Structure 1
């Protein structure tokens, strides 16, 4: 059966059902294409040093999460890579930010086999250039897809005369030590923290970073573990803390254990979500502001002018607070490849997204939920306020969260909303950076909303924020009624 990679290779990564979409044959073709599109050209321009067994040869690193399909797909991908004369270093089980650490510290491209929070039948690949630089649709992924499609439709290229070699390396301890070197936790008070790993890779990385690992001083933390057993079938709940239902176990455990806070990680442990001592979810925007202020303060103390990146769905509190603290803030589109590009372009010290991805200049401009967690622990542990009191300082406005609507035509529904709001509010500001953002923020009552169409489904995504809950609910309900307005049938349109 012919395989169409356009349904598998997304805008930012590779993700699909195993083996119907992502099989060993597909993984091998993608590996052969990635070696030729990314690894070898990067090596020719001198942007990387070989990491494999053959000194001086081009190399890359490959990691994987705990899904059962991972080992077979990794082996197949590595075959494709080595057939092009590229060495492979396997780092085994790791979080996605662990793969970024390996790519950054070794200065080689990388491939992480994970489907993040998707169900067990899925797997995928997150790809990066040397030093954890992103590979997305516009930065090489489209070319990888096209070349791999040709290999699948015809045949794989013949292996080079001297194929690459495969070696193994354990980087977990190095990763943990590096993260701990970036945040000063020496003065934190004793804290009890419940951590829900969701049977994902946090079960491996959290003990290494927060525990008393080899060479690392112990922290004054009592960690209460939830679902630390690595299990790609996710027997307890989906490893997607963005869905409120998947936080219920953590919220209950925080209250039952009288803990100071809770942390939840997704399947590949690159995103971190925070729960306060009362079991309330702390918004990722509040975490962005909290961590951003810590990074801005360090930059100012070092005599540097700080820049912070945030996507357009984050709360207005983020640019408000960080600008007041002396930072330049840059607003960008949703999506890690966009925010990483802006991070590098501006030399930004930090970046945050509403989806709980947090990016750090000191981590090769890549995202790491674990480093964000360390910052939250440092912020909480160096003062006497509770987590809920601390979070309240960074959540002055009310947000709707992301609401999806299935629509037959996203463009028509969006234009219907714009027409109505332009007529009702002549002074609104409209921009099209990512979908459409309609803002009434400079006037009273204060509100804004964003509508973005999904790249893969017939969905419109709505985010609303306002100065108080009543205004937010009114704008939310008004926009949704316009978005979901029934489309007249042909019979209804006929006079």
Structure 2
């Protein structure tokens, strides 16, 4: 029987995941319909489906509602309970099963969401299945979920110990020099995964790493600060703690602990691009040791620092420039056979982790590199941060195409353009002059243009950034 006025799913099912307000957009009924639709889309009737969730107050009940919808369409649900997003990727990869993770990542407590994976931790974007899931769920909300002959089963599984052990196999930290690390978990899932992976909570051997914990208590209300380390305001406590404790470095995880941000011993942020360059170099060297011949591909999105591609090329590998966005990069990881991928937003992807992103694994690589040499992290960071960048600057514009056209007209005589993910403008500079480039990308959901710029000197960066912003905001 048709139901009156079901919730419209279109406003909160985004390009890469589901992200909505609890109660008004995401309800038990909506989540149950999405569970049923997901099983249909990934052909999981009669097969296992992984369901995990973060520490938000609404997450356990949403996981239960999703399980009910999935089982109603014949999926056999494996509940892995409280976990980080990359734990669901581990479960999806190791069990070769599709997965759903309940989290709104770094968003405030009033939000929740779902990150979907096909079997083997393969990403699902709007173009590769998320739209179909949305449309099926919308129909189920209106018409009801059709019954199947065999309702699915349900079991529980704890994957934390196996996850931690697997990461320890990928990066050996047992022989590094003793280091002191402050970790800000932001009351998110890093409070559970860090003690398991970097300490002894999962029964693994002790490492030469002293962990000084900050906000490890799991609390989906985020009482100390938002679990969004991309915002400088949210790493102030970490920066102070690193200095107060005389630590070698600090790590900050977002709410679902799939992204990791780094500060050095002076409390200064190490850019995600610099981290990507360090990890890329390590992965290239590791693979080349066992594969002396043949091409090695490494992915970077188009707004990472130029140093990332330069590092990849200098190490004898092939840089592959891509769009921004985790589902798109996962697709490219699979298509190119890339061994690693890095984004400006601190998402790091590994072939040895089913092509999925894992902030903990990136942190482990950084700890291994830092701990195998005598210099402070600030020196290592400076080596991989030779250029200056603007960071992302958002501008509200009434007409995005018109603003982009103004950029083209203004820079046509002095720059080259490409249209991979927005518009990238690269200056045609003479030998000895500072290079510069900038990218403008429209938001998927708001009337915004996002500007990212980089140059070889602060003076040139300031001039290019200010000129571009003036044109955008004209």
TM-score tier (shorter)? over 0.9
Q: Which of residues 401, 412, 427 in structure 2 aligns to 1:422? A: 412
Q: Which of residues 304, 329, 332 in structure 1 aligns to 2:319? A: 329
Q: Deviations over 1:318-367 (max 9, x none)?
A: 01111011111100000001111111111111000000000000000000
- Find out whether 1:434 has 2:421 as its counterpart: yes
Alignment of 1:97-246 (within 5 A): 97-157=86-146, 159-246=147-234
Note the aligned Cα RMSD (angstroms): 1.0
Q: Which of residues 13, 16, 23 in structure 1 aligns to 2:17? A: 13
Q: SS at 1:39's partner residue?
A: coil
Aligned to 2:374: 384
Contact 1:446 1:466 in 2 (8 A): yes
TM-score, normalising length: structure 2:
0.97
- The CA distance in 1 between the partners of 2:154 and 2:33, in whole Å, is 18
Alignment of 1:191-340 (within 5 A): 191-303=179-291, 305-340=295-330
- The CA distance in 2 between the partners of 1:318 and 1:309, in whole Å, is 9
The Cα of 1:153 is off from its aligned counterpart by: 2.0
- The CA distance in 1 between the partners of 2:393 and 2:225, in whole Å, is 21
Q: SS at 1:344's partner residue?
A: helix
Q: Deviations over 1:142-177 (max 9, x none)?
A: 1001111111122221x2122001100000000000
The Cα of 1:186 is off from its aligned counterpart by: 2.4
Aligned to 1:410: 400
- The CA distance in 2 between the partners of 1:122 and 1:39, in whole Å, is 29
Q: Deviations over 1:97-149 (max 9, x none)?
A: 01100000000000000000000010000000001000111111010011111
Aligned to 1:493: none
- The CA distance in 1 between the partners of 2:192 and 2:428, in whole Å, is 44
Contact 2:38 2:133 in 1 (8 A): yes
- Find out whether 1:29 has 2:17 as its counterpart: no
- The CA distance in 1 between the partners of 2:311 and 2:110, in whole Å, is 42
The Cα of 1:441 is off from its aligned counterpart by: 5.9
Q: SS at 2:300's partner residue?
A: strand
Contact 2:417 2:423 in 1 (8 A): yes
Aligned to 1:52: none
Contact 1:191 1:221 in 2 (8 A): yes
Q: Deviations over 1:449-479 (max 9, x none)?
A: 0000000011100000000111111111110
Q: SS at 1:181's partner residue?
A: helix
The Cα of 1:38 is off from its aligned counterpart by: 1.1
Aligned to 2:465: 476
The Cα of 1:241 is off from its aligned counterpart by: 0.3
Contact 1:39 1:60 in 2 (8 A): no
Contact 2:174 2:208 in 1 (8 A): no
- The CA distance in 2 between the partners of 1:482 and 1:283, in whole Å, is 27
- The CA distance in 1 between the partners of 2:406 and 2:78, in whole Å, is 53
TM-score, normalising length: structure 1:
0.93
The Cα of 1:442 is off from its aligned counterpart by: 5.4
Aligned to 1:88: 77
Contact 2:72 2:145 in 1 (8 A): no
Aligned to 1:490: none
The Cα of 1:73 is off from its aligned counterpart by: 0.8
Q: SS at 2:51's partner residue?
A: strand
The Cα of 1:39 is off from its aligned counterpart by: 3.4
Contact 2:160 2:202 in 1 (8 A): no
Contact 1:39 1:109 in 2 (8 A): no
Q: Deviations over 1:233-270 (max 9, x none)?
A: 00000000000000100000001111000000000000
Contact 2:164 2:202 in 1 (8 A): no
Contact 1:441 1:448 in 2 (8 A): no
| Number of aligned positions between the proteins | 466
The Cα of 1:215 is off from its aligned counterpart by: 4.2
- The CA distance in 2 between the partners of 1:84 and 1:2, in whole Å, is 20
The Cα of 1:440 is off from its aligned counterpart by: 1.4
